[in-house]
Chain A
Amino acid sequence: MGKYIINRLLLLIPVFIGITLITFLIAHSIPGSPFTNDRLPEKARLAIESAYGLDKPLYEQYFIYIINFFRGDWGPSFERQGNQTVTEILFGYGSRSEEGISFWLQLGLAVAAGIIITLGLSWLRTRTRRIDLLNTFKRWFFPTVLAVVTLWLLFLIFTLDTSTAGGFLFSLRLGIMAFIFMLIVGIPLGIIAALKQNTWIDYTVTTIALIGFSIPSFVLGLLALIAVVLINYATGSDFSIAPSSPTTLDLVLPAALLGAREASIIARLTRSSMLEVIRQDYMRTAQAKGLNDRAIAIRHGLKNAFIPILTVLGDRLAGLLTGSVTIEAVFNIPGIGRYFVSAILAHDYPMIIGTTVLYALMVVLINLLVDLLYGFFDPRVSYTSRRAA
């Protein structure tokens, strides 16, 4: 498994080169210059462009960009006339040099804590049952460490000071909350619908899921805002809507609406995946053994039905964490969703590449985690390369 992770991480290098190169070339091929302006004479514009090094040959600009990228300088944002940098806009305006060190230290501590917890759990399990300690540890090591690190990251994300924060922090908060909503609403609904197939419960769930899937989230968002305003009129309360500096509490409503659509997708998927599993022989065996219904549904049904759900979950998570253009606009959340669009209109090359790389990194890393989690849910999945016999 270690070798597998290293291989996958090494694969990041060509992926990174591919993504940056293609994005770089596409961004630079958009007609017009970032500094075209209806009042700037061409000579002055060329002078500004050369001050930013845009007059150099493309390959040179690309190499300079890549070198700077790894030094933490993602370039100036042309949309802000070069007065703010991409990293400032995405990740924050304060200097984080001291925090940087403690970040890795904390990460290390979290991993160590994960290992200790796994050891403890494995020991507890092997004490009561006759299972090999090493094997149990191997199996539980990754999900436990992942869970501890995730909890620590969640704590960090939801406690950081937002006054100097960049947009990514807000998008992360919104995305995580929407993801949690999607999990706790989508999956149970899907399971219930599958277990009560062709009853009115099933019909209700599938209808709601269909509606939730069809209505764009920004329409729901606007309706929700209007509802709040109307409630204020009707009851004399003074709930504020869409504050510019949203707290975690302010994000609950947009996250729920953003998650509603995702929950519909997951509910439909869970339902169909469960329906397939329910008809399997081992389910009937479990029933014949006399296990109770809940144990059958969760331990035998869901666990087997979870592989396709996991695939989609990973994909949706990457999308949610990098912001939603519409929900962020409607609820005025200062996330990074808006830059995916505005950067292109403004010919903001560094921002276009910055946002794309960020999204790509999310997709690649989360896919890696998902691939590793397959092994936990389905022990038949193996990470050692097997030659075809």
Chain B
Amino acid sequence: MRWRSFLNYGIISLILAVTLAACGDNTATPSTASTTAASQATTAAVAATTAATATTAAATGATTAAATGATTAAAAASARPVTGGTFRFTMTGEPDSLDPKLATSQEAVIVMNEIFDGPTQLDKDLNVKPNLAESWTTSPDGKVYTFKIRQGVKFSNGDPVTAADFVYSWNRVIQNEKAEYDFVMSDIVGFDEVHKLTGDDRKKAALSGLKALNDFTLEVTLTQAASDFILKTALHPFFIVDKKVVEASGDKWIEAGNLVGTGAFLLKEWKHNQSLRLEFNPNYWEGRASIDAVTIELIKDGATARLKYDNGELDSIEVPVADLTKVKNDAKLKTQLQLVPRTRTNFIGFKHKGDSPFATNKELRKAFYQAIDRRLVAEGALQGAGLPLNTLLVPGLPSYKPYDAYPFDPAKAKASLVAAGYDTPAKVKQLEDLINNYGAAGKSGGFAYTPERAGWQQASESYVQQFKQHLGITLKLNPVPTAKEFFERRSTGHEFLIYFGSWGADYPDPNNFYQPMMGCETLAQQGGEYCNKDFDAAWKAGAVEKDTAKRAAFYQTAEKILQDDAGMIPTYSGLYAVLIKPTVSNWTYNPQGPTHFKDAQIKK
């Protein structure tokens, strides 16, 4: 009897759960007001005074040097209202380190951007803004940069920031033999010499191009003019660390409690593999952040993060690809969704070397180019998790200009195939067999990709389907189990004639696209050893050009040459699909990731 009633209850509750699921409201947000009115008032007062000092500092700066950046920064600071509150953010993984000389993961960069500063900073539109350097001048030949360092900036422990800290911090990076990101410093004189050193010599090495002229002037000499050097100084290897703290705490200096920076936030707590907590830095030179704190929960599973967002425990999440269509069709969630193109170019690459038929036959590359319907890939196969892309450079970056060399056209694709010399079914079959059976038997050949990365499998299937439909060429799908193996077999082995290529930029500048992807002399090139002298000349001219308009023109020429030559087939750019609670304002994603939390505001 008791058993039966238990069963009845079970059935009733099950029915109840299903009905609730059917009419469930997905957007209820239990408000979590954490700050009391009293503390709000005091924090507002603190902000007012710091903003005032920032303005006076900027005023003196403006009289001594023509520093336009400083005044705009101060204006931004005084305009920043203090809303208080905690931003509840999430990342999928643990930062591999928070040491600017060691860190490589995107998670680490997101956190470091908040707790450290470099000489410059990228704003939310990816423009370079003065930061710890209030201004800089360039020598006429573009090789010598003189940074004027902002006076009165202090580390969070009170130590003042001087030019010597810059020299120390930057030399630290190149002294590390295991550094992966020190290449952003490769323009500086002495970089190559230091890289030849190993062991103890390396640990004592210094870049000869770095000189502290006095406490607040830093001179940096480059081997050649580099139009993107200033932008690179906003990246994490250029962040300034406190020598005293680093030397006192050894390897553990990056732990919460030890770590000291100049950023808008302090690292309050770092529970490894669990969560991080950042709190506003009251001594931040620009004036304190709008919000009190940022908590970062590390959640590996996208579905769990989504549920936590629905449950009102997170203020922003990246939407899992599988959920995207559902979110887009949900009346309430739709308004919280933001789609931001990201600096990732996905393309179809050819082997351009040796016996490859793609190496010399431009018409053949064109045929494949014209056979791809980008819209179908982005919206069909990827369910909207990508944006159709016709160029190597992604939209939203300086120098970007729309260009469509060979629009999707099945008839023209067939014609190009004939023009390429594949005019009979037998010859087409021969090509098909060559591609499918290329390289070591059973392992290589076909259309190569790795299913390890989200969307690559679906996109590759779509490409192969379209080649079959529009060209009559049935390629074998060749999934390489892990990304690491795929990269190695593509870049050093060249084991595939045609493959899925993808490039995520390290910094938002065209220079980080053309050269690493398709440059003649580039090691570990993405484009299958593509080499085109005209293309190289164009982007190289852009890499040293100081004038912004001329620079953009050079890169646009490079783009046109590459696309007209069908050197690769751009297909779609990556996308951040982000849900942000309506209580959050003045914060979003840009192509590089989340924007600075210091400006974020939270309504209660």
A residues near B (Cβ < 8 Å) are 30-44, 47-48, 51-52, 79-84, 88-89, 93, 162-164, 166-167, 200-201, 204, 222, 225-230, 232-234, 236, 238, 240-245, 329-332, 334, 338, 345-347
- Please report the C-alpha to C-alpha distance between residue A112 and residue B299 in the assembled complex, in whole angstroms: 43
Contact of B524 among A41, A48, A51, A222 (CB under 8 A): A41
Whether B97 pairs with A330 at a CB distance below 8 angstroms is no
Whether B488 pairs with A33 at a CB distance below 8 angstroms is yes
Whether B97 pairs with A80 at a CB distance below 8 angstroms is yes
* Residue B429 interfacial (CB < 8 Å): no
Select from chain A the residue with minimum beta-carbon distance to B202: A51
Contact of A31 among B304, B485, B503, B504 (CB under 8 A): B485
Select from chain A the residue with minimum beta-carbon distance to B182: A44
Given contacts A81-B180, A93-B272, contact A230 B24 (CB under 8 A): yes
Smallest CB separation, B210 vs chain A (Å): 21
Instruction: Tell me which residues from 257 to 285 in chain B have a Cβ below 8 Å from any Cβ of chain A.
Output: 269, 271-275
Given contacts A47-B177, A93-B272, contact A81 B97 (CB under 8 A): yes
Smallest CB separation, A177 vs chain B (Å): 18
Measured as residues with beta carbon below 8 angstroms from the partner, the interface class of chain B is 35 or more
Whether A42 pairs with B492 at a CB distance below 8 angstroms is yes
Whether A42 pairs with B307 at a CB distance below 8 angstroms is no
- Please report the C-alpha to C-alpha distance between residue A331 and residue B299 in the assembled complex, in whole angstroms: 9
Given contacts A242-B304, A332-B300, contact A80 B311 (CB under 8 A): no
Given contacts A226-B21, A241-B308, contact A33 B484 (CB under 8 A): yes
Contact of B298 among A52, A83, A244 (CB under 8 A): A244
Whether B180 pairs with A48 at a CB distance below 8 angstroms is yes
Select from chain B the residue with minimum beta-carbon distance to A82: B178
Instruction: Tell me which residues from 502 to 535 in chain B have a Cβ below 8 Å from any Cβ of chain A.
Output: 502-504, 506, 516, 523-524, 526
B residues near A (Cβ < 8 Å) are 3, 17, 20-21, 24-25, 28, 30, 94, 96-97, 99, 102-105, 177-178, 180, 183, 255, 269, 271-275, 297-301, 303-304, 307-308, 310-313, 452, 482-489, 491-492, 502-504, 506, 516, 523-524, 526
Whether A81 pairs with B96 at a CB distance below 8 angstroms is yes
Whether B307 pairs with A242 at a CB distance below 8 angstroms is yes
Contacts A81-B178, A241-B304 known; 14 new A-B pairs at CB < 8 A: A32-B486, A40-B180, A81-B102, A83-B96, A83-B97, A162-B274, A225-B307, A228-B311, A230-B17, A230-B21, A241-B308, A241-B311, A332-B297, A334-B274
Given contacts A38-B491, A41-B524, A51-B177, contact A229 B310 (CB under 8 A): yes
Given contacts A88-B272, A204-B3, A244-B274, contact A232 B311 (CB under 8 A): yes
- Contact sample, A vs B, 28 pairs, CB 8 Å cutoff: A30-B482, A32-B488, A36-B488, A37-B484, A38-B483, A38-B491, A38-B503, A81-B103, A81-B104, A83-B102, A230-B21, A232-B28, A233-B20, A234-B20, A236-B30, A240-B313, A241-B307, A241-B313, A242-B304, A244-B271, A244-B275, A244-B297, A244-B298, A332-B297, A334-B273, A334-B274, A345-B484, A346-B484
- Please report the C-alpha to C-alpha distance between residue A93 and residue B487 in the assembled complex, in whole angstroms: 33
List of B residues within 8 angstroms of A47 by Cβ: 177
List of A residues within 8 angstroms of B523 by Cβ: 41-43
Select from chain A the residue with minimum beta-carbon distance to B7: A204
- Please report the C-alpha to C-alpha distance between residue A167 and residue B273 in the assembled complex, in whole angstroms: 8
- Please report the C-alpha to C-alpha distance between residue A166 and residue B178 in the assembled complex, in whole angstroms: 25
Smallest CB separation, A163 vs chain B (Å): 5
Contact of B301 among A201, A238, A329 (CB under 8 A): A329
Smallest CB separation, A335 vs chain B (Å): 9
Contact of A38 among B25, B303, B485, B524 (CB under 8 A): B524
Smallest CB separation, B139 vs chain A (Å): 30
Given contacts A230-B20, A244-B274, contact A83 B103 (CB under 8 A): yes
Given contacts A32-B482, A32-B488, A41-B524, contact A229 B178 (CB under 8 A): no
Given contacts A33-B484, A222-B303, A347-B484, contact A238 B30 (CB under 8 A): yes
List of A residues within 8 angstroms of B310 by Cβ: 229
Whether A39 pairs with B506 at a CB distance below 8 angstroms is yes
Q: Which of A33, A35, A37, A330 has the most CB of B within 10 A?
A: A37
- Please report the C-alpha to C-alpha distance between residue A240 and residue B97 in the assembled complex, in whole angstroms: 29
Select from chain A the residue with minimum beta-carbon distance to B199: A51
Select from chain A the residue with minimum beta-carbon distance to B176: A51
Select from chain B the residue with minimum beta-carbon distance to A38: B487
List of A residues within 8 angstroms of B24 by Cβ: 229-230, 233
Whether A233 pairs with B25 at a CB distance below 8 angstroms is yes
Whether B488 pairs with A31 at a CB distance below 8 angstroms is yes
List of B residues within 8 angstroms of A82 by Cβ: 178
Q: Which of B178, B183, B504 has the most CB of A within 10 A?
A: B178
List of B residues within 8 angstroms of A243 by Cβ: 297
Select from chain B the residue with minimum beta-carbon distance to A79: B96
Given contacts A233-B25, A347-B484, contact A80 B96 (CB under 8 A): yes
List of B residues within 8 angstroms of A33 by Cβ: 484, 488
Whether B304 pairs with A330 at a CB distance below 8 angstroms is yes
Whether A238 pairs with B21 at a CB distance below 8 angstroms is no
List of A residues within 8 angstroms of B105 by Cβ: 81
List of A residues within 8 angstroms of B483 by Cβ: 38, 345
Whether B25 pairs with A225 at a CB distance below 8 angstroms is no
Select from chain A the residue with minimum beta-carbon distance to B296: A244
Given contacts A244-B298, A332-B304, contact A36 B20 (CB under 8 A): no
Select from chain A the residue with minimum beta-carbon distance to B522: A41
Given contacts A38-B487, A39-B506, A201-B3, contact A330 B303 (CB under 8 A): yes
Whether B484 pairs with A36 at a CB distance below 8 angstroms is yes
Smallest CB separation, B567 vs chain A (Å): 18
Smallest CB separation, A202 vs chain B (Å): 12
List of A residues within 8 angstroms of B274 by Cβ: 162, 244-245, 334
Whether A227 pairs with B17 at a CB distance below 8 angstroms is yes
Whether A38 pairs with B526 at a CB distance below 8 angstroms is yes
- Please report the C-alpha to C-alpha distance between residue A42 and residue B516 in the assembled complex, in whole angstroms: 13
Smallest CB separation, A172 vs chain B (Å): 15
Select from chain B the residue with minimum beta-carbon distance to A221: B304
List of B residues within 8 angstroms of A244 by Cβ: 271, 274-275, 297-299
Contact of A89 among B21, B273, B308, B452 (CB under 8 A): B273
List of B residues within 8 angstroms of A38 by Cβ: 483, 487, 491, 502-504, 524, 526
- Please report the C-alpha to C-alpha distance between residue A346 and residue B452 in the assembled complex, in whole angstroms: 11
- Please report the C-alpha to C-alpha distance between residue A230 and residue B18 in the assembled complex, in whole angstroms: 10
Smallest CB separation, B254 vs chain A (Å): 9
List of B residues within 8 angstroms of A238 by Cβ: 30, 312
Whether A245 pairs with B21 at a CB distance below 8 angstroms is no
- Please report the C-alpha to C-alpha distance between residue A229 and residue B28 in the assembled complex, in whole angstroms: 10
Select from chain A the residue with minimum beta-carbon distance to B94: A80
Whether B304 pairs with A331 at a CB distance below 8 angstroms is yes
- Please report the C-alpha to C-alpha distance between residue A238 and residue B30 in the assembled complex, in whole angstroms: 7
Whether B180 pairs with A242 at a CB distance below 8 angstroms is no
- Please report the C-alpha to C-alpha distance between residue A43 and residue B96 in the assembled complex, in whole angstroms: 23
Whether B491 pairs with A245 at a CB distance below 8 angstroms is no
- Please report the C-alpha to C-alpha distance between residue A15 and residue B178 in the assembled complex, in whole angstroms: 35
List of A residues within 8 angstroms of B102 by Cβ: 81, 83
Q: Which of A38, A80, A226, A233 has the most CB of B within 10 A?
A: A38
Smallest CB separation, A339 vs chain B (Å): 10
Select from chain A the residue with minimum beta-carbon distance to B30: A238
Whether B272 pairs with A242 at a CB distance below 8 angstroms is no
Select from chain B the residue with minimum beta-carbon distance to A83: B97
Whether B180 pairs with A334 at a CB distance below 8 angstroms is no
Whether A240 pairs with B3 at a CB distance below 8 angstroms is no
Q: Which of B3, B269, B483 has the most CB of A within 10 A?
A: B483
Whether B307 pairs with A226 at a CB distance below 8 angstroms is yes
Select from chain A the residue with minimum beta-carbon distance to B96: A80
- Please report the C-alpha to C-alpha distance between residue A163 and residue B572 in the assembled complex, in whole angstroms: 42
List of A residues within 8 angstroms of B485 by Cβ: 30-32, 36
List of A residues within 8 angstroms of B177 by Cβ: 47-48, 51
Smallest CB separation, B270 vs chain A (Å): 9
List of A residues within 8 angstroms of B96 by Cβ: 79-81, 83-84
Whether A51 pairs with B313 at a CB distance below 8 angstroms is no
List of B residues within 8 angstroms of A35 by Cβ: 180
Whether A32 pairs with B311 at a CB distance below 8 angstroms is no
Q: Which of A34, A37, A233, A330 has the most CB of B within 10 A?
A: A233
